[in-house]
Amino acid sequence: MEFKLARINLSTQKVTEEKIDEKTLRRFIGGRGLGAYLALKEIPKGIDPFSLENKVYILTGPIVGTAAIESGRYHVVAKSPLTGILGDANSGGQFGPWLRFAGYDGLVLEGASEDPVWISIVNGEIKFHDAKHLWGKGVIHTEKVIRETMGVTKESLGSVLSVGPAAENRSRIAAVMNDRYRAAGRSGLASVIASKGVKAIWAYGNRKVLDELYDKRKYMEEAKKLIKKILEHPISKSLNEFGTAVLVNVINAHGALPTKNWTRGTFEKAFNISGERLAEVYLKARKGCWGCAIQCSRVSEVESGPFKTPISEGPEYETIWANGADTMIGDLDALVKANYLLNDMGFDTISFGSTVATLMEIYERAKKGELPEEKAKELFELLGDVNPEWGNPHALIQLIWMAAYRNRIGDLVAEGAKRLAEYFGVPEAAIHVRGMEMPAYDPRGINSMALSYATSNRGGCHLRAYSVSFDVLGVPKKFDPLGIDMEKVQLVKMQQDYFSFIDSVIVCKFNTFASGPEDYVELMKAAMGWEDFTVEELLETGERIYNTERLFAVREGTNYRDTLPKRLLEEPLPDGPAKGRTAKEALEKYLPEYYKLRGWEDGKPLPETLKRLGLEEFLYIVS
Ligand code: SF4
C-alpha cells in the first residue's frame, strides 16, 4: 500500500510529496503513531510551539475511509502550546476519509503564511486561497463559505477542517474542528495551525482507497464480522440510544462525577443534564461519523428561551460534565447553547469548562478574602459585569465570547486552567496533568484512573487508557472501582498499547468495547498483506508508539513525571460511595508495578526498552 504525505510549506507555498515506506508503516502504522515518530525526528528540542519550527501532522491511517468499522477518523500531532510536550488529538466526522479520497493520506504543515490562507485539496491538486475574509469568523460560517466557493453544498460530499477565533487568538485550549461540530479537541493544536496562517482545509476527490487494500474481499469479510460484533454489544446499543451522555448518571452513581472543580464526587442535578434527559427533551436525530453504524452523535436543539440554540450536534458527556457538574450548572438548555458556541469558536470543551470551574473557585476565594488583595482587585476589574458564581450559566456563555476574542478576563481563560490559577497565585485550583485539564472521572472513585491519568503521555486524558471500562462497565471483566488490584496495572498498560494502535490505524475507540487486538490482526493481514502479523506484534507496535511519545517529553527535559494534582492525592472526597477516599494509595501502589511492566525508571524508558522496541535511533535521549 502506498501511504502518501503532502508537505505544505506555508512560507513558500511549495508542496512536496513524500511516500512512507512499508517498514516505517509497519512500525508506526499511521495517525498518532506515525505523527509521534515524525515529530520526534523533525521538531527540534525546546522550540516555541508557535514558532516557524513547529510542524503540524494531520494524518489518517491505512484503513481510514474503507467502509464500516468506524474508520472515518484523522489525527493531529504537533508540539502543544498547552503542555509544551507532544500534543495530539483525533476526530471523527468525515474529514479523514475525504482527505484520502482527495489523494493524500496525510499532510505536514510547515513554516507560516504571512496572510491567512485556506487550502483546497482536490484529487491531488493543492491550491492556496486568500482567507482574510474568513479570519475572525466562526467555524460554521467558515465551512459554509468554503463549501459555497467550491460549489459543493451537499453535506455528505467533501469535508472542511477549520479553526475558529479561539485558535486565531492563540488560545492554548483551542480545538481543531471539522464538519462543523466534530473536534480534535485536546492539546490546543488548532492554535498551532492558526499560527501557520491556515484558517481551513477543504478535501474532496474520488480516489478509491478500498481498492488499494491487499485483499479487498477478505478485508470486507473480516470487517463485516467485526461490525456484527460491535452492533450486538450492549454498550454500542446504549451509545446509540442515549449518546455518550448516558454516562452522567452512571458515573454520578459511582461518586466519581467531578463536581464543583473536583471538590465533590456527586452532583445533585446530574439527572437534569443526563443523556436520558437529552434524549427526552432536546434530541432531533441520531447521527454518525463516516462509516459508523453505532451513531452515537446527538442532533439537538433548544427551541425557545434565553438559551435558544439552532439544530446542531452534541453535547457529549465530557462537554456536559466540564461545563455542567464541574461548574455546578444544572441547566441543560445552557449547556446545549454553550456546546454550540464552543464548537463555533473552536474550543476544547473539556479544557474550557474545567478552566471556567477553576475561575469560579478563584472568584469564590477572592470574595472570601483568600487571595492577595491586589490580585483580588485585579480579578474583579477584569471580570467587570461577569459574575462567575457557581452554577451561573450566563457567566459561562459570556466567558466563551470573551475567551475567544481575549477580552478582559477572557484573555486569561484562553490560557487554560493551569496558567489562570498560577496567575492568581492559587495553582492548586487547576486540576490538570502535565498542564492539560482532566476529564470527567474522579480517580478517588474509580481508582484505576489514577494510573491512567498520571501516565497519560499527552496530559490529563481518559483516552490513552479508558480503565472506566473495567472498573465501572465490566469490560473485559468487572473490578471493584475502589479496590486495589494489581491486575488493573496490566490492563491499563495493555489498553494504552492497544489504543495507540487504534489511534494509528485509525478507528473509533468506541468499538473497542466489543473488539480486541485479535480482530484487528485479521483485518491488517487482509488490508496490508502482513501475513505474519500477530496480536503480539500489534501490542508491541502500540508499545513502541507509547514510548516514542514519552521520549518527546523526556527530550524536552520537563513534564514527563507521572503524578496527579495535589487535590486528588490529599483531599478526600466528601460525598458519595467514595467518601473519604483519595487517589494516593492507588497511585503509590500501581506506579512502581507499571514502571516494571513498561521497562521505565522514574518516567523514562530504559535503554534496553528502546532497544527491544527497535527505537535505537533515540537512545541518545535517555543515555
Ligand atoms: S461511535 Fe460515535 S464517535 Fe465513534 S464513529 Fe460512531 S458516531 Fe463517531
Please state which CATH class domain 3-212 belongs to: alpha beta
pLDDT of amino acid 293? 82
Beta-carbon contacts of 318 under 8 Å, excluding residues fewer than 6 positions away, are 244, 349, 350, 439, 440, 462
pLDDT of amino acid 243? 93
pLDDT of amino acid 37? 98
Q: What's the CA gap between 93 and 98, in Å, rounded?
A: 10
Would you call 408 helix, strand, or coil by DSSP? coil
Q: Is the CB of 436 under 6 A from ligand 1?
A: no
CATH architecture designation of domain 243-436: Orthogonal Bundle (1.10)
- The dihedral through the CA atoms of 256, 171, 499, 246 has a sign that is positive
* Per-residue pLDDT at 558 exceeds 90: no
pLDDT of amino acid 69? 74
Of 7-21, 59-73, 119-133, the range with the lowest mean pLDDT is 59-73
Kindly state the average pLDDT of the residues 112-138. 98
Cell numbers found for residue 315: 453535547
pLDDT of amino acid 68? 63
473: CA distance to ligand 1 center in Å? 18
Q: Are the C-beta atoms of 431 and 438 separated by less than 8 Å? A: yes
384: CA distance to ligand 1 center in Å? 41
pLDDT of amino acid 1? 81
310 vs 284, 300, 339, 457, 620, CA distance in Å? 11, 8, 11, 37, 54
Q: Is the CB of 95 under 6 A from ligand 1?
A: no
Starting at the earlier edge strand, list the strands of the sheet with 125-130. Answer: 125-130, 117-122, 198-204, 159-162, 176-178, 182-184
> What stretch of H or E contains 338?
helix 332-345
* pLDDT tens sequence across 392-404: 999 999 999 999 9
Distance of CA 155 to the CA centre of its chain: 24
Residues above pLDDT 90, as percent of the chain: 97
* Per-residue pLDDT at 374 exceeds 90: yes
* pLDDT tens sequence across 428-473: 999 999 999 999 999 999 999 999 999 999 999 999 999 999 999 9
- Domain boundaries along the sequence of the chain: 3-212, 243-436, 444-563+583-594
pLDDT of amino acid 67? 75
Distance of CA 594 to the CA centre of its chain: 24
Q: What's the CA gap between 253 and 244, in Å, rounded?
A: 16
Instruction: Identify which of 65, 38, 71, 32 has the alpha carbon closest to the alpha carbon of residue 54.
Output: 38
Q: Is the CB of 508 under 6 A from ligand 1?
A: yes
371: CA distance to ligand 1 center in Å? 44
Q: Which atom of ligand 1 is nearest to the CA of 288?
A: 7
Instruction: Identify which of 325, 323, 307 has the alpha carbon closest to the alpha carbon of residue 315.
Output: 323
Cell numbers found for residue 215: 485483499
Beta-carbon contacts of 286 under 8 Å, excluding residues fewer than 6 positions away, are 240, 243, 295, 296, 297, 298, 299
The residue nearest atom 4 of ligand 1, judged by CA position, is 508
pLDDT of amino acid 254? 97
Q: Cell 463555533 sits at which residue? A: 344
Q: Is the CB of 292 under 6 A from ligand 1?
A: yes
pLDDT of amino acid 415? 98
* pLDDT tens sequence across 479-506: 999 999 999 999 999 999 999 999 999 9
Kindly state the average pLDDT of the residues 5-10. 98
Q: Is the CB of 80 under 6 A from ligand 1?
A: no
Would you call 521 helix, strand, or coil by DSSP? helix
Q: Are the C-beta atoms of 335 and 319 separated by less than 8 Å? A: yes
Q: What's the CA gap between 606 and 609, in Å, rounded?
A: 5
Instruction: Identify which of 349, 329, 357 has the alpha carbon closest to the alpha carbon of residue 431.
Output: 357
Q: What's the CA gap between 547 and 600, in Å, rounded?
A: 9
Strand runs labelled E in 277-422: 283-287, 297-302, 309-313
Peptide bond into 388 cis (omega under 30): no
What type of residue is 342? Answer: L
CATH architecture designation of domain 444-563+583-594: Orthogonal Bundle (1.10)
